[in-house]
Chains A and B, each alone.
Chain A
């Protein structure tokens, strides 16, 4: 009751209070201004809250996204393991025991990206000179890639044959050195030419060209432990990158061989790239390499101290119309390599090349051809020649089936006509598309 009695009084006070400023200024315009001000304030407040609300909403959405990602799941509390019932009577520990060494919540986030790429090869037809098995799980390449710290990242590629394991590459890349230097330390495929630096699964063929096998150390090529430094050369016209590499000096079975610590091998590479149009570009490379070869080794001692020097040029033309980029493309490439190999019977000046073209007919279909010609490094008077036709089908981005008809005319021995086929498939983290 008292409230009701007081109500008119407080209402009157309120009215006076509200009325006071108005009557003090005594103008409807001022009142209007004030109302406008209030409205503006209110709108600002509304805007502010709206902003905050939408920020919160987006944060919530992001948090929900993070929570749903399987890698970000955190186990609730300390993981425990139950002791098996049989152990209780033996006087051993009972009940739940904490598990030590289990990954702490969120630690899996830092696991490297892992992927495995399988390469299955089949061969039919006749090859008496260099036969490959009828069916072979040629290579299973496991990759582990992650950022090490704010200054570096690490990449490991471990290739498993049907028997035996090989560290194909394993290196640290320093990403933030001053002077624009991109430095790699570890075991790596050397930057000699184009094909040497490519892994098997990104090649447009089931094999490597004859010139690589004859002159650049066989299937593995120049692949060695060392240090690589690459720098962009600033200029207004094109992308120009110079790479210098110092390697231990062991590559291939019969190619570079280091008999003592000083027998390092060196690789230099200059790459020039230019966009001709939005749809097409051209890529040139000049390479040189030098190292000790095993020709002078007699009874385990390198008495000859012979070296091999390699020089190469490569050119790649690419065409891919941007608006139909997933359906049509063409890549034409060629590499020419000269080898100077010193050995007991004098210097052998060998030369080899390949020329290849690959055209994408449809989203999943590619057709290609390759022409091969190469001297042999040990005896430049011997010339192997060959040619291939290829068809590749991609069921998806993650697998491909390839057929290759290959004819090889060996300098010694009968010519080979072969039909090779290949299945390649990749699981795990999504790798970058090759360029």
Chain B
């Protein structure tokens, strides 16, 4: 009798240890997806992003230390739409991990279930700059897409770990409800300022603008991925003066020299607006990203009195 109970205790302990050990390892390419994944996966997963929020996600270095992280991953979540084309493919190839190869169960392209803007039509050439032929990859800047990313991650985690499905789905429902409430608040905050004209450095904010009613009239970059040229800057300044644009949004990883010069000439404010979680130290999760950006915008619009 004593032996049996000892065995039972041992078995329970082993089972407990096993379930504690088998946290799913999830690697994401960006901190935004990691933040959403953390909401959905809770303490049943460990999740980490390769890129940092304050670095340009197009130009991440394919460091060998990333190979070590991918080697152990059960799931890799990519933003997709060729955002990571310059660095992710060789990392996956060298990861020696068959679970996360594209097409395998452990590879999730989160863009496949999201609403994508700026999908180019007609002939595309590189004369148009570094265009993304499958559409703009900065789609996470809309909370509606945040929910879609969360749903895909929850479904994928449930697929890999069916026993935890109720846990993931419950956390998804909770996250979605909280995001719904927050989105209502953000929309209400921004509603007086709908139609505000802005200029952005790179095309990082189309989804954000569409959701929250900004009107992007131009870009500091003449074409995606092409640094500013004097002629384009001059044209942009004239257009901004004509349309009375008082706000320039710059991602934290771009040089402020040209935006500041444009600001001086047009009287517009230059806002360093993170498009990603981790873009500044205050933005520690997906909710704070919108909190921070919307606050920043509202303060600036109020100050300028422009619309």
Contacts and interface: CB of A to CB of B under 8 A. Distances in A.
Given A68-B121, A430-B82, A435-B61, A322 B52 contact: yes
Interface stretch (A173-181, A194-202, A332-340): A173-181
A433 B57 CA distance: 13
A90 to B, nearest CB: 40
B89 interface: yes
Contacts of A54: 144, 147-148
Interface in B65-118: 65, 67-68, 71, 82, 85-87, 89-90, 93-94, 96, 98, 101-104, 112-116
A405 interface: no
Nearest to A433: B86
A150 B103 contact: yes
Contacts of B226: 396
Given A64-B119, A324-B253, A396 B130 contact: yes
Chain B interface extent, by class: 35 or more
Interface string A257-277: 000000000000001011100
A150 B225 contact: no
Interface string B37-64: 0000000000000001011100111111
Given A62-B112, A322-B52, A323-B54, A433 B62 contact: yes
Contacts of A398: 126
B86 A239 contact: no
A331 B230 CA distance: 30
A364 B133 CA distance: 24
Interface string B116-152: 1001110010100110011100000000100110010
B64 A241 contact: yes
Contacts of B112: 62
B227 interface: yes
B71 A68 contact: no
Interface string B251-290: 0111100000000000000000000000000000000000
A69 B126 CA distance: 16
A363 to B, nearest CB: 5
Contacts of A138: none
Contacts, number: 124
B63 A435 contact: yes
Given A150-B103, A182-B94, A232 B87 contact: no
B55 A323 contact: yes
A61 B115 contact: yes
A281 B63 contact: yes
B96 A435 contact: no
A57 B120 CA distance: 19
A432 B54 contact: no
Contacts of B255: 324, 327, 363
Contacts of A271: 64
A65 interface: yes
A325 interface: yes
B12 to A, nearest CB: 31
B119 to A, nearest CB: 5
B292 to A, nearest CB: 16
Given A68-B119, A153-B93, A397-B225, A273 B65 contact: yes
Given A175-B101, A325-B56, A398-B126, A275 B65 contact: yes
A432 B86 contact: yes
B123 to A, nearest CB: 9
A273 B115 contact: no
Nearest to A363: B227
B93 A397 contact: no
A326 B60 CA distance: 9
A356 B68 CA distance: 28
A208 interface: no
B289 to A, nearest CB: 17
A432 B62 contact: yes
B114 A58 contact: yes
A428 to B, nearest CB: 10
A434 to B, nearest CB: 9
Contact of B148 (A58, A173, A232, A431): A58
Given A182-B94, A430-B82, A432-B90, A326 B59 contact: yes
Interface in A61-109: 61-62, 64-65, 68-70
A347 interface: no
Interface of A: 54-55, 57-59, 61-62, 64-65, 68-70, 147, 150-151, 153, 173, 175-177, 180-182, 232, 239, 241, 271, 273-275, 278, 281, 283, 318, 320, 322-327, 363-364, 396-398, 427, 430-433, 435
Given A239-B64, A430-B82, 19 more contacts: A54-B144, A62-B113, A62-B114, A175-B101, A177-B96, A180-B71, A182-B94, A182-B96, A239-B68, A364-B227, A396-B126, A396-B225, A396-B226, A397-B225, A398-B126, A427-B126, A432-B62, A432-B89, A433-B87
21 contacts: A61-B114, A61-B115, A62-B112, A62-B114, A65-B119, A150-B103, A153-B93, A176-B98, A180-B71, A271-B64, A273-B63, A275-B63, A278-B52, A318-B61, A323-B55, A323-B252, A325-B56, A396-B126, A396-B225, A431-B86, A433-B86
The 6 A-B pairs at the shortest CB distance, nearest first, are namely A176-B98, A322-B55, A273-B64, A239-B64, A180-B96, A323-B54
